[in-house]
Chain A
Amino acid sequence: MADVTLNAVRKDYDDTTALDGVSLTVSDGEILGVLGPSGCGKTTTLRTVAGFETPTDGTVRFDGEDVTNVPPENRNVGLVFQEYALFDNMTVAENVAFGLKMRGVGKRERRNRAEELLEMLDIGEMGDRDPTTLSGGQQQRVGLARALAIEPNILLLDEPMTGLDAQLKARLRTEIGALLAELDVTGLYVTHDQEEAMVMCDRVAVLNEGRVEQVGTPREIYESPANEFVSEFVALDAPDLPFVRW
């Protein structure tokens, strides 16, 4: 795991600006939530850290080292998507071991490591299954195991729970939140769901129109919003908030 810093990152497309000087730091072992409405630039932020977008201006640093122009396959980042994006041509265990295979780890060690991770995520008996036969929640766990297998510098989660039903979401939120904390994972958690961000993350950055409106602990954001946008965005479902990690 590593410190990840975005410094004044700007991303222009032909006629629009997706990111307008975004500066963020994710400290080692911290989960930083990136919260905002759709189109606010949160996914572009994640893709910039992963290396799929090259900033028009500004730098991305892992542990102080400039990786702005390093291609994604050499950045050692883990990605978890809302769509799971599991490889259907491989078994569950092979999905998890894919990153290790790319790194030239031997077959037996790959297998052991994959089983260990699946065990940890409570789907230990599913290694030989076809991923398409798993439920949504199980597939998402496989996606998480696959991303964790490479011991990434940073784990990037792009709306990982948006496709799941409310009950499962609530359970996974607690379970996975605890797991990420226990493993001391450095993570960037992108979501449009303020409740999810508040529960899962150590700190939250609220984005709007490509700019960071406020960064702080969930409590700070909720209790002293920096401006009207933040207070309105965060207040939407506030009465339902279970203040589990405060």
Chain B
Amino acid sequence: MTLSLSRRFGRSIVTLALFATVAFLIAPIVLTVVASFATSWTGVLPSGFVTFENWRAVLGLADTIGSQRSMGWRPLFSLPLGGERLTVLVPAELAFSIGLALGGVLINLVVGVPIAYAVSRYEFPGKEWVNAVSVLPLVPGVILGVAFLRAYPDLSATSFGLIVGYSLLKAPFMVMAVQSEFESMPLRQLEESARSLGASWPRTFLTVIVPNARSGIVSGAIICWALAAAEFNFSYIVWAKGTQPLALFLQRHISNSSFTKAAAAVSMFFFIIVAVTLLLQRVGRRGFDTRGS
């Protein structure tokens, strides 16, 4: 008896393809993290290990405040300590970007969850249009950026403008994630059960509907946050002065400083994305859990 070709090689080929794909996707990240500990990175592979200079610079531990400032750190406060001054620095771009992106996610939550709810729960005239319009900002950031500048000249070049822009730009991801969650659960029956048990509509929405959709809301928030924190195009067009959003900061460093220092900055950003993703997941799992309360 001869085994068919697909049975003999099928599984191993699929496994191989999977490994190759994962390796291909991960390689640049691994290489970047490795390079951040190197002294030079001229060819494909970095060389001159191991140095912490790049990380020291990126993390604001460099010798002089001047060199720290060049990496975008700003003094948070300084204390007179026995003749010397201890200056504590924060990575301004980083904190700024994290804050901007979180602000965008907050707006997305407040606006996106009710839109997703309305579209999945009710039939109303113009439903198709609401659906289409909520997914429309999927247009590239450059286009929205220009349109935004023309439409709201007062908002441009302000942090608030960036927050609103990020939320607008990433809203489709929130709406789609939450909507598919709502559509996978018996929304009307859940709502009517809670109402019949004596909960008012707002209470039903907040204590039953939203917590039951937590996994969709959390994944929507993670996607929106990660995309907003790294949004380059829109930031490039709308931002004018003051603290730079992280994407612009990274771009500046990639073009202006050594590759290895840029690698450290990019690695740091990568780790922050991972950390925030894990954090949001955790908050999502815990925060909505009303068990035992």
Contact = CB atoms under 8 A, between A and B. Distances in A.
22 contacts: A47-B192, A73-B195, A73-B197, A78-B196, A78-B197, A81-B189, A81-B192, A84-B186, A85-B189, A85-B193, A87-B190, A87-B193, A87-B212, A88-B212, A89-B214, A99-B198, A102-B197, A143-B193, A146-B193, A147-B197, A150-B198, A156-B196
A146 B289 contact: no
Given A73-B200, A89-B291, A98 B194 contact: yes
B288 interface: yes
A86 to B, nearest CB: 8
Contacts of B292: 91
B283 to A, nearest CB: 14
B102 to A, nearest CB: 24
Interface in A119-178: 143, 146-147, 150, 156
Interface residues of A, number: 32
Contacts of B15: none
Contacts of B273: none
Interface of A: 47, 50-52, 71-79, 81, 83-85, 87-91, 94, 98-99, 102-103, 143, 146-147, 150, 156
Contacts, number: 78
Contacts of B290: 89-90, 94
B interface majority secondary structure: helix
- 9 closest Cβ contacts across the A-B interface? A102-B198, A99-B197, A89-B211, A85-B189, A83-B186, A81-B189, A72-B195, A79-B196, A85-B193
A87 B194 contact: yes
Contact of B196 (A72, A87, A91, A103): A72
B208 interface: yes
Given A87-B212, A102-B197, A150-B198, 18 more contacts: A47-B192, A51-B196, A52-B195, A73-B199, A73-B200, A76-B198, A78-B197, A79-B193, A81-B189, A81-B192, A87-B190, A89-B208, A89-B291, A90-B291, A91-B292, A94-B290, A102-B203, A146-B197
Interface of B: 186, 189-190, 192-200, 203, 208, 211-212, 214, 288-292
A89 B288 contact: yes
A102 B212 contact: no
A77 B291 contact: no
Contacts of A156: 196
Contact of A73 (B196, B212, B288): B196
A88 B192 CA distance: 15
B42 to A, nearest CB: 55
Contacts of A77: 196
A156 B211 CA distance: 25
Contacts of B288: 89
Contact of B189 (A78, A83, A88, A94): A83
B200 to A, nearest CB: 6
Contacts of A91: 291-292
A99 B186 CA distance: 19
A47 B188 CA distance: 12
Contacts of A52: 192, 195
Nearest to B290: A89
Contacts of A79: 192-193, 196
A109 to B, nearest CB: 16
Contacts of A146: 193, 197
A96 to B, nearest CB: 10
Given A89-B208, A89-B212, A89-B214, A81 B198 contact: no
B98 to A, nearest CB: 28
A83 B186 CA distance: 7
Contacts of A85: 186, 189-190, 192-193
B38 to A, nearest CB: 48
